[in-house]
Amino acid sequence: MTDPTPLKLLNREQAILEFNRRVLAQAQREDVPLLERLRYVCIVSSNLDEFFEVRFADMLDAARDPLSSVTGQDVERVGRAAHALIDEQYHVFNEQLTPLLVKRRIVILNHADRDEPQRRWVSRFFEREVKPLLVPVGLDPAHPFPQVANKSLHFIARLSGKDAFGRDNRIAIVKVPRVLPRVIKLPANLSDGRQAFVLLTSVIRAHLEDLFPGRKVEAFSQFRVTRDSDLEVDEEEIANLRHALRSGLTTRHFGRAVRLEVVSTCPAELSEFLLQQFVLPDAALYRVNGPVNLVRLNELIDQTDAPALRFKPFEPAWPTGRLPRHKSIFERLRKSDVLLHHPFESFEPVVQLLREAVNDPDVLAIKQTIYRTGAKSELMDLLIEAARRGKEVMAVVELKARFDEEANINWAERLEAVGAQVVYGIVGYKTHAKLLLIMRREGAKLRRYAHISTGNYNPKTARLYTDLGVLTADADLTADADSVFRQLASLGKFKAPRRMLLAPFNMHSRMLELLGQVEAAALGGYKGARIVVKINALTDAELIHGLLRAAQAGAKIDLIVRGACMLPPGLPGVSDNIVVRSVVGRFLEHSRICYFRWAEPREGDEGEALFLSSADWMSRNMFRRIEVAWPVLDARLRQRVIDEALQPYLHDNMEAWQLGPDGRSVRVNGNGAVSAQQALMRRYS
């Protein structure tokens, strides 16, 4: 079948903003605990920071490239959508959440709201904790506009009169040090039975004139600039990637400005002055009705004593029936594979497997990929201990895991210091695969054990993200994992693994083959032709057109795409066989699952295939990253993945959204209240 009728794909950047609109909708749900609603507002702010630092910055670059399809109109359209979303975000914070917090006697007190004892306390706090760290800079030829780091908070002030030297320097800049807390809780004896907070910006604002003796502050504003923060190094021209990135980390904070935030009351002359300093157009100015960095309100959430306003604690279950506690995991895996479904099941078995390997004298070698593991990690400490004990340790450390570069460089240096073999993957390709391989001497032979996952080796995020992992001693899968590590270390010619798919070599082509197999079955009259894909993003044009061909042939297709989706579903005759939904709930949906059905089961052909993967369906994942996908061949485990990680999401009518052909999402409503995440929490509680 030829390519389907050409259609305009949805805009990727607008799709990312649409995802954040769905997240913001969580903050408006009355059935979500109040402090968690506020946390969703903070999450949107954090997401938008990264959006401007990376995606929007890339879009601006593309618009300047005459060979790019991105136009200035595209940039304007996305900018307007970002402005609208941020305005809505502050409306939710000011008009919905703040009054509800006040009802629960949780208040943020501005200077005008504070009584005299509170003002005296704030004044003492300013003199003692804040003022000694502030260095106001009056601008003149000897004091040019200072370097302003990415996302750092500053004040700009217009002053009256002349300075001590009789000069007419009217503009001053005050940097707010990152070390200072952004949210300060007032003592209980000053709070009248409430939980009362003051923002650091309010403290500084109330005492701004104290920084300029003899002069009046005529006008002022908070401001924050967001910069292009992609770490750019010419990987073809450098001899040592780690050293180059370590150097690049110091300059990342001063990349090209892409957004300027000021408070809504900022005088036009000050905002225009700042736009000129940062060489930004008017469209890059965001006037916000509140704190310019809502992310920092996480500090208020953390300091508030109100358990009833948070989600009830959930403790992941240990898979007792399949993995008895305090027994050898090696012994258990020799019987069959173990599937772990996080965060409903604990990540601790993975840590215990590595701990057992470190302490077992028969374990000779351990190999692991490291993408996002965190600044503190028991897993990394265990790898270091394994190397100290003389085991062969190989760590494939991805130094370009965005915003985790510094932590990963530090781990790489610590591992090298104890004799571990550290490699940084392949120049030009991020290593995003999640693999742990253990080699153990058993009698006269070596046996391999492995953990393969859709998510990162980070016990903290494993409690917040939904992911699937497999513990296995399967000879083929573990041999494939070993070949991946050899590929990353030796850079030899690619040899297709037995079962795994490996990007950038054969994953994309195999996914297209499977889509084509379902398409052919549908064309042949098979009514059960079916595709279900659960991923974080769908932006690869070839895979999108493969899905469209299968849909037009008659296959029924369900896509569960958490974030950006560029496929417009529901177009008559084009994509009306495709339903795209997104689930936004308590946990971040992160697992990647690909299910294909092309025939009824018969001898020699099960008629279906199910893969778990580290890769989203994006061109970067398929062609510019090292990714793995692996089939779930055990029928019981395959059915469990379908029953737990696919079917519930197709029936969710509490936290699911359905995408329309125009790129807008509407919340799914149906009979009864069905939440996939809540059902899984009940199952595993």
Please state the residue numbers annotated as binding site for ATP: 47, 465, 562, 590
Picking from 283, 256, 261, 60, the residue whose alpha carbon sits closest to that of residue 152 is 261
Residues making up the annotated binding site are 47, 372, 402, 465, 562, 590
| Rg (alpha carbons) of the chain, rounded to whole number | 27
Alpha helices (H) along 423-525: 475-490, 507-523
Picking from 51, 26, 52, the residue whose alpha carbon sits closest to that of residue 39 is 26
Distance of alpha carbon 363 from alpha carbon 447, whole angstroms: 9
* Distances from the Cα of 593 to the Cα of 169, 467, 537, 540, 613, angstroms: 61, 10, 12, 16, 6
Amino acid at 417: A
154 is known as an active-site residue: no
Beta strand pairing call for 338-342 and 183-185: unpaired
The number of residues making up the chain comes to: 685
Angle, vertex CA 664, rays to CA 20 and CA 567, nearest 5 = 100
From the candidates 341, 342, 432, 545, which is the catalytic residue? 432
What residue ranges in 407-565 does DSSP mark as E strands? Answer: 421-423, 430-431, 434-442, 445-453, 465-472, 501-503, 530-535, 556-561
* End-to-end CA, the chain: 48
* Distances from the Cα of 391 to the Cα of 285, 365, 403, 416, angstroms: 55, 5, 31, 13
Beta strand pairing call for 578-583 and 588-589: unpaired
Amino acid at 592: R
Picking from 259, 40, 269, the residue whose alpha carbon sits closest to that of residue 157 is 269
| Sole residue written with tokens 């571990």 | 420
The set of catalytic residues is 432
